[in-house]
Amino acid sequence: MTLARDVRGMLAVAAVGVLFMLVAPSVLELFTIINLTTAIALAVLALSLALIWGYGGILCFGQNAFFGIGAYAYTIAAINFGGSSWAILVAILVAVAFAVIIGYVMFYGRVSDVYLAVITLTVSLILYSLIRRTSGPDYKIGKSLLGGFNGITSPPINLPWDSSFVLFPEHVFYVAMGGLILAYLFTSWLTRTHFGRVCVSIRENELRAELLGYDVRFYKLAIFAVGAGIAGLAGVLFCNGVGRVTPDVFNLYTSALTIIWVIVGGRGTLIGPILGAFGLFYLTSALGTQSTVNNNLVLGIILVVFVLGVPKGVIPTVADWIAARRSRRALRVRERRMRMRRTRGGSGAGVGAGRGSPDGTGAAARASE
């Protein structure tokens, strides 16, 4: 019953996404659509962290490392291959392979949560400073220069069967939106599988999962790698939206922002962080056009407000609120029915029902907490 409602919710979200994908290009301006593509790419990045942190319980502070690796790998591969299709696959695989390597060290070495956050952040920052130093003709992979802090111009996606037919920005929007919807459906499905539930159980209690016979290290590594693959895909979409990739994908600002999307949107949901990424993307671009308040200051304030005031994030808080309302209403209906029965029924039954009602109230109130 609850599962069915769950699945319906997931399909509804996907349907809204598809509708938006079909309608948006005909009602919005091209500039807005191009901007949206970037926001969508960031939403996919948020989704990847929603999966591994919100469901896997792995606080990866450097999720953008895989995002950046995806963007760079795509760009370099697309330049060398002269086409995008294999480059997309390469980008995702490189991100996954990188995650498997550092994940193996961290999870099989049983590194604690705090160190894991520090290590992943450090990895991201190391990549940032390394890639910034690659200016000049000496630094190249195949035909592609790495470009140092200027980055590389990313070849746009082309049709899979015709590499000379390059997609226009409005078409890239479709690709990005399609990517987001598929990634959302995939992660929603994954979190409902046995594998996904084991990951959630590890988040809840690692020792218990281990004592039940699950190899915690393997599950963590696996979900970490899947998250990295999705972040890699986000990187591909991002460099297509922006048109180039620069070392900034690895910087501290991007790391922090990714965490903030998930905190604001809500851990333990997938749609929350997606909406969080969209919301903050538009907030920061709105703030970017003015100069009275500092952008980072606003983000900092948002973070503090959420951590202190809405620690669960927007979506879980709203969901709790709706659930509480629903159970209150169910309770009222039950009470009304009870009262009706009492007025209709004999006095003996009436006393019984009357005594039963306070108990019922207590239980339901507890359940709705």
Partner 1 sequence: MRQGEVVLETRGLSMHFGGVRAVDRVDFALYENELRCLIGPNGAGKSTFFKCLTGQLRPTAGSVVIRDIHVTEREPFEVAALGVGIKTQVPNVFEGLAVEENIWLSARRWHVPARARSLTAETLERLRLGDIRTSPVGRLAHGQRQWVELGMVVAAEPWLVLLDEPAAGMTHEETVRTAELIREINRTATLIVVEHDMQFIRMISHLVTVFHEGRILMEDTMEAISADSRAREVYLGHRA
Q: Which residues bind partner 1 (CB under 8 A)?
A: 2, 194, 197-198, 200-201, 204-205, 207-216, 366-367, 369
- Min CB(369)–partner 1 separation in Å: 8
CA separation, residue 90 to residues 72, 204, 232 (Å): 10, 34, 10
CB 200 to partner 1: min, Å: 7
Q: Residue 122 or 368: which CB sits closer to partner 1?
A: 368
For residue 222, give both structure tokens.
């696996």
| Alpha helix segments (H runs only) across 191-313 | 194-204, 206-211, 216-242, 252-265, 271-288, 295-309
Q: Which residue, 2 or 347, is less far from partner 1 as judged by CB?
A: 2
- Nearer to partner 1 among residue 149 and residue 215 (C-beta): 215
Place of tokens 């709105």: 286
Considering the complex, what minimum distance in angstroms separates the CB of residue 293 from partner 1?
38
* 328's tokens: 């209150």
Closest separation in Å from C-beta 273 to partner 1: 18
Please say which residue, 143 or 197, places its beta carbon nearer to partner 1.
Answer: 197
67 vs 71: CA distance, rounded Å: 6
Residue type, 161: W
Question: Is residue 110 helix, strand or coil?
Answer: coil
CB of 263 to partner 1, least distance (A): 18
**Shortest Å, Cβ 327 to partner 1:** 13
Kind and range of the H or E element at 313?
Answer: none
CB of 197 to partner 1, least distance (A): 6
CB of 366 to partner 1, least distance (A): 7
Task: Specify whether the CB–CB gap between 184 and 13 falls below 8 A.
Answer: yes
Q: What is the CA radius of gyration of the chain?
A: 24
What counts of helices (H) and strands (E) characterise the chain? 14, 6
Give ∠ CA 213-217-222 in degrees, rounded to 5.
Answer: 110
Closer CB to partner 1, residue 305 or residue 320? 320
Q: Closer to partner 1 at the Cβ: 193 or 285?
A: 193
Q: Is 197 or 329 the residue whose CB approaches partner 1 more closely?
A: 197
**Rounded (5°) CA angle 41-261-239:** 20
**Nearest CA-CA partner of 40 in 20, 69, 65, 10:** 20
- Which residue lies nearer to partner 1 by CB, 108 or 282? 108
Choose between 129 and 205: whose C-beta lies nearer to partner 1: 205
Write b or e for each residue in 60-95: b if 16 or more Cβ atoms lie within 10 A of its Cβ, otherwise e: bbbbbbbbbbbbbbbbbbbbebebbeebbebbbebb
Q: Tell me if residue 157 falls in helix, strand or coil.
A: coil
The contacts of residue 85 (CB under 8 Å, 6+ apart) are 158, 160, 163
In the complex, the smallest distance separating the C-beta of residue 275 from partner 1, rounded to whole angstroms, is 22
